[in-house]
A and B are shown apart, each in its own frame.
Chain A
């Protein structure tokens, strides 16, 4: 995944209100990159006409 570094993680975490130590976010970076690569592979699927597996039932 392009553009992800420890600074990005810090900013994202801060935007969400998490005060996580820089060194721990730095150490997390390889896992974040690996995980987001897996997620990005979902883009290869034809999902446009697929409704997500979520539903709201009022009754």
Chain B
């Protein structure tokens, strides 16, 4: 199979703009790969073959006629199946919306199309985005491509997005993140996932899980690619009153590779201390790489972390049930059992408890803001565990048993409450070959610094260039980048 599917977007865009590669050739390469692999991976719910090829032909015509094209022109992307797509069914991973065909695109979808991106299809997800495992009773469980033999969780809820990007089924994808649903699959699938600041990218036309906690963002193989997607996605949208009027900076220009003197806080209590030893070593190894590049690191703590679970539960459960209220009265049997149970929990959260949770949220946000008043970014593991096998409900971390679901969302949801921008990047692999991820948290609307740090880290490591065993058809070209010394590898 063609190497085209592994090209970074920056290079792919350049090849297309330079007429070295046709968008039709690129789209066909991805469609061929989807055809070959998605029977097993189940990353897609709907493949838009004809529409994608037609869009590619139009993109090719634009290039050949000399029109000015941007860096996303002709670049094939996938969309988590909760982004509304005009004329293409949008299921939310549910039976309830199995036949819903929206009349309009979500704002971010329209903006990416305007920038030249081509939609390959709609990606699998946990039903209505309500689950970090990334499983789906209606459309099948997506397969984490890093284990060819054991069916492992891809992480969710943006499971198909994580799998498709990791396995080379699309150049990039969009995900949504209410408790970690971009960052968890990014970590478990070994890719880069960016949850922007709350209000940076429009949620209009995106099926909600919890309005006040939902974020949308890009899932890519590199931070540089995330910067390319974030630019058109960002900015005020009259269809989403929570979007900010703050100007959108040039994210690509921020990727200088220079982090000398950058002040970094490493979350140790609650975050690093709850991760397994190999994961801790991976994040500590990553911290060393940042220090070698000139960053100044200190240990920090989030005192309010113990209240994150309660606040997050009360807000998400109440808002989710409010959205699903009618269907939970009329069609409860059409939900998967796990999602139905989670939605029911919202009925037992009082208005007072909901408001207390929103008060606690302010305290958590204030504490993160205070840390970022003296530091540029904060670092934490993305998850305390690696991808568990499908069906596993408990994990043992350092001798203690934990619920898989709670473990998966433990380290990501603090920043859904706080609303700060976070980029998850791969930071190592276990001996079994499973990826591990770390989070880089920044100040509100300072995605530029978050991406600069992520990009600087990726310039001196090669975790993000590795290819999973499922669909492995050609070895990755040797990286020109220096890899971490052997002793620093986590696996």
A25 to B332, CA, bound (A): 13
Residues of chain B having any CB pair with chain A under 8 Å: 212, 241, 304, 306-307, 309-311, 313-314, 317, 328-329, 332, 341, 344-345, 347-349, 353, 355-363, 365
A-B contact pairs, 9 of them (CB 8 A): A4-B348, A18-B328, A20-B332, A35-B313, A38-B309, A39-B357, A47-B363, A52-B355, A52-B356
In angstroms, how far is the closest chain A Cβ from the Cβ of B16?
42
Q: Is the CB of B360 within 8 A of A42?
A: yes
In angstroms, how far is the closest chain B Cβ from the Cβ of A13?
6
A38 to B305, CA, bound (A): 12
Tell me the total A-B contact number using a CB cutoff of 8 A.
89
Secondary structure of the A side of the interface?
helix
Q: A18-B328, A41-B307, A53-B212 are in contact. Are A35 and B317 (CB under 8 A)?
A: yes
Residues of chain A having any CB pair with chain B under 8 Å: 4, 9, 12-13, 16-20, 24-25, 27-28, 31-32, 35-36, 38-45, 47, 50-54, 57
In angstroms, how far is the closest chain A Cβ from the Cβ of B322?
11
In angstroms, how far is the closest chain A Cβ from the Cβ of B191?
30
Q: Name the one of B307, B314, B365 contacting A45, with C-beta atoms under 8 angstroms.
A: B307
| Chain A residue with Cβ nearest B333 | A21
Q: Is the CB of B348 within 8 A of A20?
A: no
Residues of A within 8 A of B344 (CB): 13, 18, 20, 24-25, 28
In the A-B complex, the 8 residue pairs with the closest CB atoms: A52-B358, A38-B310, A47-B359, A50-B359, A53-B361, A53-B358, A39-B310, A52-B359
A40 to B306, CA, bound (A): 12
In angstroms, how far is the closest chain B Cβ from the Cβ of A54?
6
A54 to B360, CA, bound (A): 12
Q: Name the one of A16, A47, A53, A57 contacting B241, with C-beta atoms under 8 angstroms.
A: A57
In angstroms, how far is the closest chain B Cβ from the Cβ of A57?
7
Q: Name the one of A4, A12, A40, A57 contacting B347, with C-beta atoms under 8 angstroms.
A: A12
Q: Is the CB of B313 within 8 A of A38?
A: yes
Residues of A within 8 A of B360 (CB): 42, 45, 47, 50
Q: A39-B314, A42-B357 are in contact. Are A32 and B363 (CB under 8 A)?
A: no
